[in-house]
A and B are shown apart, each in its own frame.
Chain A
Amino acid sequence: MSAQPVIQIRNLKKSIGKKQIINGISFDVYGGEVFGFLGPNGAGKTTTIRMLLGLMSITEGEIFIKGYSIKKDFEKAIANVGGIVENPDMYKHLSGYKNLVHYARMYPKIGKQRIDEVIRLVGLENRINDKVKTYSLGMRQRLGLAQAMLNSPSLLVLDEPTNGLDPAGIHEFRNHLRNLAKKENTAVFVSSHILSEMELMCDRVAIIQNGKLIKIQTLNEMLDNKADEAVTLTVEPVDKARECIESLNVNYKPVVKDNKIEISIKYENIPDMVEKLVQAKVRIYGINKSAGNLESKFLEATGGNKIA
């Protein structure tokens, strides 16, 4: 991670009419990290991203990209940024190549070489000269990534980028983003609902709800909150296993879920528990360490199911 943050957001506020959509958000994003931006529907993720990209006006507060204010120095700020907002809509009646040329022309120094390089990076060499209206969703997504990278940006802003990609595509995309962060020191700012993907990809995560930032932590901090291990046992019969565990120690509180039991227990006590279960003739099919995953942490932090 480099010292000077690529994005600095200070007390950002946005209201439309009387409604306050964003209520004072502040955070930094550094080069070389993949930063995840999460939140329930209606929390203000897309609004924040649009303000970051200059598509929506800022009611109060500041956004700095590499030190340039989006409000006052838009052109300089945005020159370092590449992005995809929702679907990357391209000009359908033009070929993929011409689309890229069109955008390349808007920057001072992007030549044919860079365009070809970007095409190779996303794997669209074979179809690049076909009209975009013939592309599948996955191809359009790749073309979207290509246009975001034309100017070798220091900041990549992605809103739901893996939407429509096949598993191979998602895998490739993820690797690609991590590479960009590590090798080119690009700051990657991703917003997505696919928490399993975010878990695999992000270094730090911020959760936003009702226009406010409710949590911002490194992924590790977020997931490893317990002193005890959380262990999941796949056993039969479940009730017998539960009684057995409860009898071991008054503090143990096993939770039954279908044919599994979840319990917090210290690492060193696991073998004893297993032995007890075997003695009680409980059949054990599997023992798994379940690190609290991002989904459960997310739901815990946002309190379930309300749309703002």
Chain B
Amino acid sequence: MKLYGRLSTWVMMAFLIILIILTGFITSFTANRTSNDNWREELEKENESLKSTVSSMPDVETSKEQYANTIKINEYRLEHNIPPTQTTSLWGFMSSAAGLISVISLFTIVIGGGMVSTEFSEGTIKLLLIRPSSRWKILLSKYISTLLATLFMLAILFIVSFIVGGILFGFTGISEPYLRYINGNVREVSMVGYVFSLYGYNCVDLIMMATFAFMISTVFRNSSLAIGLAIFLMFTGSTLVMALSKYNWVKYILFANTNLKMYAEGAPIIKGMTLGFSITILIIYYILFNAISWIGFSKRDITA
């Protein structure tokens, strides 16, 4: 009730919805509507340029594998006569709208980063804790509140982008396949599955950042610090990992493991990392964050 009673929460949601609608309009008006005839030529050209790029690249470059995959996928398309997904189709729009999940990340960080610290800064924590509820229960309910809000925003993103995409681009093409390179073969996967998986992969980063912001909020009792720190890390985290990618210990840093999509595409950041490894690292960080939050809240005196 407290979260949804705040005007700022609703403003964020409204902002999200407006962004989705805007993206829809922009996409529809500026994208090139390639006619179906040309796509074969385009793909062939793309493949040639990619092949030449690949052959001149040293083996260490991680993007080399990605380019190799794209070449294989394009060849598949040419063989099976499947045009590439237009961004101006329903599913194309929805997959690009999934990029707005990073906007949701920002909002989630704001919500999570303020959860505990505003109770302290407003002084309401005193009245909250003299109730017959142990501290961990109160902390847990706040955390769940943050996660639920995230879920709610994701649902809004999905539904609204579906509606907007459908209105602008028509509801055809629902059964279009998505092509994916798995273990040396190109496979057809349903688009719905693909979009869901996009959301799923992005959720990993989302949840970790929200948990992190929540933790800083609880330990330092300062919203600005929590939100600032989390946003900073969100933006610089993956850059940092890229920059340090020549060191092997990079794989222990959180941000090297949040983009699980890289395993599906068959191209992890550091050679030798597996899905299992990343998941283990993620779980360890997750438990660490929550443990710190719990200790920081349950054991300390309230002097505010």
A residues with a Cβ closer than 8 A to B are 50, 53-57, 74-76, 78-79, 81, 83, 85-94, 98, 101-103, 106-107, 147
Which of A78, A79, A92 gathers the greatest number of chain B CB atoms within 10 Å?
A: A78
Q: How many residues of B contact A (CB 8 A)?
A: 20
B208 CB, nearest partner CB in chain A, Å: 29
B294 CB, nearest partner CB in chain A, Å: 16
- Known A-B contacts A94-B1, A102-B2; A54 and B129 likewise in contact (beta carbons under 8 Å): yes
Q: By DSSP majority rule, is chain B's interface helix, strand, loop, or mixed?
A: loop
Across-interface contacts of A79 in B (CB, < 8 A)? 132
Taking a contact as CB atoms under 8 Å apart, the answer to whether A90 and B127 are in contact is yes
Across-interface contacts of A85 in B (CB, < 8 A)? 126-127, 130
A76 CB, nearest partner CB in chain B, Å: 7
Across-interface contacts of A83 in B (CB, < 8 A)? 130
Taking a contact as CB atoms under 8 Å apart, the answer to whether A50 and B127 are in contact is no
Taking a contact as CB atoms under 8 Å apart, the answer to whether B124 and A91 are in contact is yes
Q: A50-B302, A83-B130 are in contact. List 6 more A-B contacts (CB 8 A).
A: A75-B134, A85-B127, A86-B126, A89-B127, A91-B124, A94-B5
Across-interface contacts of B303 in A (CB, < 8 A)? 50, 56
> Could you list 25 A-B pairs, sorted by A, with CB under 8 Å?
A50-B302, A50-B303, A54-B130, A55-B129, A55-B130, A55-B301, A55-B302, A56-B301, A56-B302, A56-B303, A57-B299, A75-B132, A76-B132, A78-B131, A85-B127, A85-B130, A88-B127, A89-B122, A89-B123, A90-B124, A91-B2, A93-B5, A93-B6, A94-B5, A107-B132
Q: By DSSP majority rule, is chain A's interface helix, strand, loop, or mixed?
A: loop
Contact with A along B281-304 (1 / 0, CB 8 A): 000000000000000000101110
B302 CB, nearest partner CB in chain A, Å: 4
- Nearest B residue (CB) for A87: B123
Provide the bound-state CA to CA distance between A71 and B275, in Å. Answer: 45
Across-interface contacts of B124 in A (CB, < 8 A)? 89-91
Across-interface contacts of A74 in B (CB, < 8 A)? 132, 134
Across-interface contacts of A78 in B (CB, < 8 A)? 130-132
Which parts of B171-219 form the interface with A (CB within 8 Å)? none
Across-interface contacts of A57 in B (CB, < 8 A)? 299, 301
Which parts of B121-145 form the interface with A (CB within 8 Å)? 122-124, 126-127, 129-134
Across-interface contacts of A102 in B (CB, < 8 A)? 1-2
What are the 10 A-B residue pairs with the smallest beta carbon separation, nearest first?
A89-B123, A79-B132, A106-B131, A55-B302, A56-B301, A75-B132, A53-B130, A85-B126, A89-B124, A94-B5
Which of A89, A92, A93, A147 gathers the greatest number of chain B CB atoms within 10 Å?
A: A89
Which of A78, A81, A91, A92 gathers the greatest number of chain B CB atoms within 10 Å?
A: A91
- Nearest B residue (CB) for A102: B1
Provide the bound-state CA to CA distance between A90 and B303, in Å. Answer: 17
Whether B60 sits at the interface, judged by CB under 8 Å, is no
Which parts of B1-42 form the interface with A (CB within 8 Å)? 1-2, 5-7
Across-interface contacts of B134 in A (CB, < 8 A)? 74-75
Provide the bound-state CA to CA distance between A94 and B4, in Å. Answer: 10
- Nearest B residue (CB) for A76: B132
Provide the bound-state CA to CA distance between A101 and B6, in Å. Answer: 16
A252 CB, nearest partner CB in chain B, Å: 53
Provide the bound-state CA to CA distance between A83 and B132, in Å. Answer: 13
Which parts of B28-73 form the interface with A (CB within 8 Å)? none
A104 CB, nearest partner CB in chain B, Å: 10
Across-interface contacts of A86 in B (CB, < 8 A)? 126
A150 CB, nearest partner CB in chain B, Å: 10
Across-interface contacts of B299 in A (CB, < 8 A)? 57
Across-interface contacts of B123 in A (CB, < 8 A)? 87, 89
A67 CB, nearest partner CB in chain B, Å: 15
B88 CB, nearest partner CB in chain A, Å: 42
A30 CB, nearest partner CB in chain B, Å: 21
B146 CB, nearest partner CB in chain A, Å: 17
A53 CB, nearest partner CB in chain B, Å: 5
Across-interface contacts of A106 in B (CB, < 8 A)? 131-133
Provide the bound-state CA to CA distance between A55 and B119, in Å. Answer: 14
Taking a contact as CB atoms under 8 Å apart, the answer to whether B2 and A55 are in contact is no
Taking a contact as CB atoms under 8 Å apart, the answer to whether B131 and A98 are in contact is no
- Known A-B contacts A50-B302, A98-B1; A55 and B126 likewise in contact (beta carbons under 8 Å): yes
Provide the bound-state CA to CA distance between A67 and B114, in Å. Answer: 37
Contact partner, A103, options B5, B122, B131, B302, Cβ 8 Å: B131
- Nearest A residue (CB) for B138: A106
Across-interface contacts of B1 in A (CB, < 8 A)? 94, 98, 101-102
A118 CB, nearest partner CB in chain B, Å: 14
Across-interface contacts of A94 in B (CB, < 8 A)? 1-2, 5
Provide the bound-state CA to CA distance between A78 and B130, in Å. Answer: 7
Taking a contact as CB atoms under 8 Å apart, the answer to whether A81 and B301 are in contact is no
A114 CB, nearest partner CB in chain B, Å: 15
